[in-house]
Structure 1
Amino acid sequence: MAETSRQRMGELLRKLFEILKAQPEGLGAAQALKTLASSVTLSPYEASFYENSGARRFEKTVRFATIACVKAGWLTKHKGIWSITDEGLSAYDRIKEPAAFRRESDRLYAQWKAAQLRDPSGLSYASAKLSEQSDLTFDVDAETASMTYEQAEEQAWGEIEQHLLKMPPYDFQDLVSDLLRAMSYHIGWVSPPGKDDGVDIIANNDPLGTRPPRIKVQVKRVAHRVDTDGLKSFIAIINEDDVGLFISTGGFTRDAQSFARNQERRKITLIDSERLIELWIQFYSKLDDKARARMPLTPIYFLTPQS
């Protein structure tokens, strides 16, 4: 990234951390980059585009720089969601000067790389040198591959989640019923259109529903996270000998997750879009053709980046 100085890159990274600090639940990478771009004035180089791909240099430059932050333990990336770690928050508060912030992430990156190669010197890999003038540059091919994998994973999960959000509500309800059948549960009842009193699906462990527990399912196809109040209304209709299964594409707030975990007399399981998709993939071979058509998936293989 010869066209972007360490000072400038440090400024961008610190601004990105400021944005993510305000999002303790994490933020989608695309939204984080969009917010960052609107918060700073792009240089002519950053605002220019690559001739081959047509992508803007700004986004790729920032993505590349965040790799060091991930290896430093400051940032996590999980299926397109970026989050600051406690170590990252500490570094953000402790290292105010942008160039020093970038330099420290580079130093920790070099330590990580040296450990990967069992290099006792700690900083000799590919003659990596830290200076005021030049950024840490080594193994660009490997890190470019890592970034390509990251963007592909981000795009794939984003498209699947958007597919779920755009699905008609009762089609989504049927998708959940199909998944439960594939998991060997027996569907005893599915709510018809109209008021459902908080239960969308009732599933059982046997065809006649005689073997407990009975599973009461609520399905929410929403973009926002379900909070504690939304969860309380569902828990209120779960008996002690029932199991409550709450599925929400928008996920759940941390308080709601804690509230569900701390239930002593009722069994409550929360499933967000990520877990739902993982289960869909896991039981895909047991879905019938009609069920698969609701969310058809095809595996694509990439060379796994170094951890």
Structure 2
Amino acid sequence: MKTIYATFKILSEAGGEMRGKEVVDKIRDTVEFDEYETHIYEKTGYVRWESVLHFYTIDAMKAGFLRKQKGNWIITSEGEEAYKKLKPEELVEIATKKYWEWDAKNKKKNTKNDVDDDELEENKSQSQKALLDQYEDVASSGIREFILNKNPYEFQDLVGALLEAMGYYISTIADRGPDGGIDIIAYTDPLGTSQPRIIVQVKHRPNEAVSSDEIQKLSGTLKRNSDVGIFVTSGRFSKPASKEAVHSREHIELIDFDRFITLWQEYYNKFSDEQKNMLPLQPIYFLGTNE
């Protein structure tokens, strides 16, 4: 109960969104736990309070209070309102009630109050989803840490490899030093005789948001009428930056960290072995659910 309420508090104070691993780390540093809560499950190696937290986030998502997207936890406007108006036990009670309302529509008849080991075992479907959720967070965090350890030029090379896997032909990759706002130039054919010419700006700033000014600068490098701009960042785009791209006279495509990883996964089989080693992935399949 205290962990899910702490989650809402952390997300609210962070502006509504944070990576799941960062939320869990912050809870670990700010919430006191007893010996029972810090017990480690032998089967999974996870700590009890972390498993219970992920278990209850399923309720919160079905209640419309929380969303998860590629490792990010996002509090909704409904969740923000519930957090500000309700006591911890009331918030959890409503989230749990809404989960079972949803569950009833799917013709299930289980009931639950507080979570203990027996109930976690009985409700295998929700426990399984919570466990998969933990695995996904660990996987996302591992990929993110790997990229964080890359330098700007290594990240630039990753972007170049991705474009090649997507079928584009790289004409130029900027050397170290000032690049005039152009890191990569690519075409849709080997000789660069077909439109458009693709101008790519790459920023390796995992903990920062790209500003609208930077989008404008990319727009300024598109000299030909057929030029297309792509801005790739290992961080994210500010709302003004996204708005600037949408309303730009030129076509500017935005690729943030999450979209970059999605594309890397989608085109992974098209990479050469050397390119795969730049950001190696290992697919693992778990039994899913029908929900």
TM over 0.5: yes
Aligned to 1:177: 160
Which residue of 76, 85, 94 corresponds with 2:67?
76
Q: CA deviation at 1:51?
A: 5.5
What aligned pairs does 1:29-48 form with structure 2 within 5 A after superposition?
29-48=20-39
Q: Partner letter of residue 251 of structure 1?
A: R
CA distance in 2, matches of 1:12, 1:301: 29
The 8 Å contact of residues 179 and 280 in structure 1, kept in 2 or not, is answered as yes
What is the number of residues matched between the two proteins? 286
Q: Go from structure 1 to structure 2 and tell me whether the alpha carbon gap of 1:22 and 1:45 turns closer, same or farther (over 3 Å shift).
A: same
Aligned to 2:242: 257
CA distance in 1, matches of 2:157, 2:89: 53
Which residue of 129, 132, 137 corresponds with 1:149?
132
1:104 aligns with 2:87: no
CA distance in 2, matches of 1:296, 1:273: 16
What aligned pairs does 1:1-307 form with structure 2 within 5 A after superposition?
9=1, 11-24=2-15, 26-50=17-41, 55-94=46-85, 96-117=86-107, 125-126=109-110, 128=111, 137=119, 139-224=122-207, 225-239=209-223, 240-263=225-248, 265-307=249-291
CA distance in 1, matches of 2:112, 2:69: 30
Deviations along 1:205-230, one digit per CA (max 9) or x if unpaired, are 22222222210001122212222233
The 8 Å contact of residues 21 and 141 in structure 2, kept in 1 or not, is answered as no
SS in structure 2 of the partner of residue 114 of structure 1: helix
* RMSD of aligned residue pairs (Cα, Å): 2.3
Which stretches in structure 2 are left out of the alignment for 5+ residues?
none
The 8 Å contact of residues 170 and 187 in structure 2, kept in 1 or not, is answered as yes
Question: Which sits farther off after the overlay, 177-186 or 33-42?
Answer: 33-42
CA distance in 1, matches of 2:235, 2:196: 27
Q: Go from structure 1 to structure 2 and tell me whether the alpha carbon gap of 1:60 and 1:90 turns closer, same or farther (over 3 Å shift).
A: same
Q: CA deviation at 1:105?
A: 1.0
CA distance in 2, matches of 1:172, 1:30: 22
Q: Partner letter of residue 176 of structure 1?
A: V
**Pair member with larger Rg:** 1
TM-score normalised over the length of structure 2? 0.88
Which stretches in structure 1 are left out of the alignment for 5+ residues?
1-8, 120-124
The 8 Å contact of residues 71 and 141 in structure 2, kept in 1 or not, is answered as yes
